[in-house]
Amino acid sequence: MKKPRLLRIRESLASRITLWVVLYVVVVLGISAYVGNGLVLKIVRTIEEGGILYAIGMRRMSIGLTLLFLLTMVVLTYSLRRAIHRLIAPLTTFTQAVDEVAKGNLQATLPDIHSQDEMRRLHRSFSTMQQSLARQMEELKQANEAKGRMEGELKVARDIQLSMLPKTYAPTADSYLDIYGSLTPAREVGGDLYDFVLRDGKLFFCIGDVSGKGVPAALVMATTLSQFRIAASHIDDVSKITTYINRNTCEGNDTCIFVTFFTGMLDLSSGRLSYCNAGHNRPFVVSDSLSELDSKSGLPLGVEETAPYVVHEYDMPAGAMLFLYTDGLTEAMNGQREQFGSQRLINQLNSGTGSKAQIEKMTQAVHAFVGDASQSDDLTMLAIKYKNQ
């Protein structure tokens, strides 16, 4: 394994000092030897010249000096190495502790630092970082737990919301009707709604779109849906049904959420359709020809408590299909931010198909158009085919 850089620096520093000292000693020894050798020659000459005592004295002094010098060097080297070691030793133990932290053990104990130098500052900074890391990890853990809990709750909320929608598509044993609906929220829960109730030979139905998305819209969706059920259980006049829900939606509506809402009542024996529009997309009537249900729209629910809602009427031809949708269909966007649009919708409408087949066909067309782009809005469709036996 490669040694840590500081350790390598320390070792190279120590060995470099040793190298220089050794080099120095060799040079000094060489010079001494040379001088000493010169002295030997000189001694020979001096003996011949009779100055022997002086030469021997010189030689002893030279050897003594060299030895003293050597000793100094050895002591100096040793103490230098010791000093460097003492300076860097805390770093080595510190590195081990930091390694522990890096491995994820945020509670690892840092070694005590007694010096008052950069090591101490490093120790303090690292300790602060360690504490803040531990705190953030704890916060992240809690946030993740909260997120998990929220996701779990949202999943249950989604199931609850989808179970509020009508589940059975055969409201009567007879075959006056072929009815099918589908709702796909853009997020876990959404603000679209549809419903139908059969009472006294009449079909009451509605489709709606709460402004906004997600949980706030879903709460309003649920109350709107239950209000429709209450109203449709005893009120025949669709404008009165709409007015009833509007008043309740307006009450305490500080957030200005509103609901575009279309409700209708189809008399199954006569085929007479009366309907009321509170700001919703006009439904299509698909028979031999294709047309939008003509209606002057009132304000969406929740905007104005006293808003008037006018009833319109239309005679459904036998075999005609009413196709209701929310703007999540026409405004479904592809990767190029193009919208699905009314024309593509119209192209898919076909009087020959049954309600379920029609909605499945439309769903496929939207999916093909949108491709990999994420769903931008809740998508809801309701098809009602009147057969009039």
Partner 1 sequence: MNTETYKLGEELDSFNHEQVQKEILTILEKGCDAVLDMTDCKYISSTGLRVLLYSKKVAASKGLKLYLKGVSEEVKDIMDVTGFENFFDYA
CB of 371 to partner 1, least distance (A): 20
- Determine if 219 is a binding residue for partner 1 (CB under 8 A): no
- Determine if 284 is a binding residue for partner 1 (CB under 8 A): no
- Determine if 277 is a binding residue for partner 1 (CB under 8 A): yes
Is the CB of residue 272 less than 8 Å from the CB of residue 266?
yes
Helices (H), 50-175: 52-102, 118-164
**Residue 236 or residue 331: which is nearer to partner 1 going by CB?**
331
Interface segment toward partner 1; rule CB under 8 A; list 130-138, 161-169, 276-284, 348-356: 276-284
- Per-residue x/- marks for partner 1, 291-330, CB under 8 A? ------xxxx--xx----------------------x---
Binding-site member from 181, 190, 279, 283 for partner 1 (CB under 8 A): 279
How far is the C-alpha of 192 from the C-alpha of 207, rounded, in Å? 8
Interface segment toward partner 1; rule CB under 8 A; list 23-31, 71-79, 156-164, 252-260: 252-260
How far is the C-alpha of 162 from the C-alpha of 185, rounded, in Å? 9
**Residue 90 or residue 302: which is nearer to partner 1 going by CB?**
302
C-alpha distances (whole Å) from 292 to each of 15, 167, 207, 271, 325 are 93, 27, 15, 17, 12
Crossing angle (nearest 10°) for helices 355-370 and 341-348: 140
**Residue 179 or residue 322: which is nearer to partner 1 going by CB?**
322
Binding-site member from 240, 282, 361, 387 for partner 1 (CB under 8 A): 282
From the centroid of its chain, how far is CA 246?
37
Q: Which of 179, 389, 145 is nearest to 271 (CA)?
A: 389
How far is the C-alpha of 366 from the C-alpha of 250, rounded, in Å? 34
Residue 283 tokens, joined: 């439904």
Binding-site member from 178, 188, 192, 209 for partner 1 (CB under 8 A): 209
Q: Which residues bind partner 1 (CB under 8 A)?
A: 209, 211-213, 255-258, 260, 277-282, 297-300, 303-304, 327, 331
